[in-house]
Amino acid sequence: MIPGPLTEDEWMPDGFYSHAEQQGDDHDEGLLDAVRAFLSRFIAYPSDEAAVAHTLWVAHAHFVDAFENTPRLAFLSPEPGSGKSRAMELTEALVPRPVLSVNASVAYIFRKISDEAGLPTLLMDEIDAVFSSGKAEVHEDLRGLLNSGYRKGATAGRAAIRGREIVTEEWPSFCAVALAGLNQLPDTLMTRSIVIPMKRRRPGQKIEPYRRRVFASEAGRLRNRLARFAESARAEVAGVWPDLPEGIEDRDADIWEPLLSVADAAGGRWPETAREAALVMVAKAKEKPATLGIRLLADIRDVLDGRDRISTTDLLGALDAIDTAPWASIKGEPIDARYLARMLGRYEIPTNNTVRIDGGTVKGYLRAHFADAFQRYLPAVTAVTAVTDVETQACAEPEQRYLHLDSGVGGEQVIRNKQGVIRNKQPESPYARLSPEVGNSGNAGNGVNDSTPACAVCGFPMHPALTAAGTHPSC
């Protein structure tokens, strides 16, 4: 569990600031505790992990030129009045050289990033107004700046007129950026962002009202301490690659490395706290498909649960019937075969297929067509034991896996593999070897029959590959 923030009395005793400023020693965990406690007084965070991420991001903004990447911080909510603008106000009070803007031009932002005074921290509120439908194309330059600027050394090329000559110019785009808005950001920005899903406060959930004129002095002292911390620890974090928890890799590693580096420099409980927060937030981010294409693949995998093939008509009907999916109304119309083919073609899935179903031929898809895309773009079905069936290799996904589940329906054993949930005692299928079942005497290919040994714990039949252990792995 991530520990809660220290109370005000714990981190701000009498004379605390004056002593800290005299000593100039901010290279410890107490500073981050103080920042977190200050923020938590005014912001109703959706979780402890969100408070940790915000604290670390604020601190990282003081180190930003020492890092290879700088993650975007995104406060997003489905409704107004969820605390996004307040979070931006407090961020502005604590970061170096803040530029809080609602409608700044791209030219202005480029020039601020090139300011000799130092890199700004760009804070953009109401970002949904920029990327809303009908306006996104007008702001493609801004999206390009925000996308490229998360990596050090990124520039934008422009042509400028100098007298009678046209010259090329390279404008840097690297700087720390925090965003706030309704709903979602463009997919390319979401993958570069640490997202804090803000919510309206529950009845009885109290926070202090924030007034800049009242708390500016307190925030300023914290900002100065963060600046001194960055100055003293810059050499420690520059060029150092922190240890990442298992499961945080690729783009997730890019955006969390700076924050974990700051936590390591602070020491104390922060290295562990930061990694716990990273694991939780990365896992939550993966629960929602990153793009519409990924969502389509995930829904198709659910539709194909237990099937080895499906007609295009049936697939479209099944997708439209998913109440929580968008397929019944994409731009006001249900998706059709052309839309499906265009989306699946991006993943090199063959789309002009004729398949045999119920003795006839129709346009459709085999599960094997999706195997590579499922494996590359979707999280794997939890598995405990690998079982290879030579006769099903051609149409099954690579490294097909089976998982015994304790629960069953009507005394049936339930097996989970990448093709879905399969129950025994079902009628013999003409495609039995493409969707192996346990206890079905017609499926000789999977090596399970009435003489198969039973699990010593639950009593259900076991696949031959599991008999050496004597029990199902989940038992």
pLDDT given for residue 142 in this prediction: 83
CB 383, CB 402: distance < 8 Å: yes
Identify the burial level of 28 via C-beta atoms within 10 angstroms of its C-beta, where 0-12 means exposed, 13-18 middle and 19 or more buried.
middle
pLDDT given for residue 187 in this prediction: 81
Which letter, b or e, does each residue of 381-395 get, where b requires 16 or more Cβ atoms within 10 Å of its Cβ? bebeeebebeebeeb
Which letter, b or e, does each residue of 184-217 get, where b requires 16 or more Cβ atoms within 10 Å of its Cβ? ebbeebbbbbbbbbbeeeeeeeeeeeeeeeebee
The label of the residue with tokens 């180190």 reads: 63
pLDDT given for residue 439 in this prediction: 36
Beta bridge partners of 333: 330
pLDDT given for residue 103 in this prediction: 72
pLDDT given for residue 420 in this prediction: 43
Distance CA 454, CA 464 (A): 10
pLDDT given for residue 148 in this prediction: 85
pLDDT given for residue 267 in this prediction: 92
Residue 104 main-chain phi, psi, to 5 deg: -75, 145
Three-class DSSP category at 390: helix
Q: Which of 212, 234, 232, 259 is nearest to 94 (CA)?
A: 212
Give the global pTM.
0.66
CA 69 to chain centre: 17
Give, for all 475 residues of the chain, the pLDDT tens digit: 555 544 434 444 433 444 444 444 445 679 999 999 999 999 999 999 999 999 999 999 999 999 999 999 999 998 899 999 999 999 999 999 999 887 777 888 888 888 888 889 999 998 888 776 555 555 777 888 888 888 888 887 777 788 888 888 788 889 999 999 988 888 888 889 999 999 999 888 899 999 999 999 999 999 999 999 999 999 888 878 899 998 898 899 999 999 999 999 999 999 999 999 999 999 988 877 667 899 999 999 999 998 999 999 999 999 999 999 999 999 889 999 999 999 999 999 999 899 999 889 999 999 999 999 999 988 877 544 344 444 444 444 443 333 333 333 333 344 444 344 444 434 433 333 333 333 333 344 444 444 566 776 666 666 555 566 676 555 5
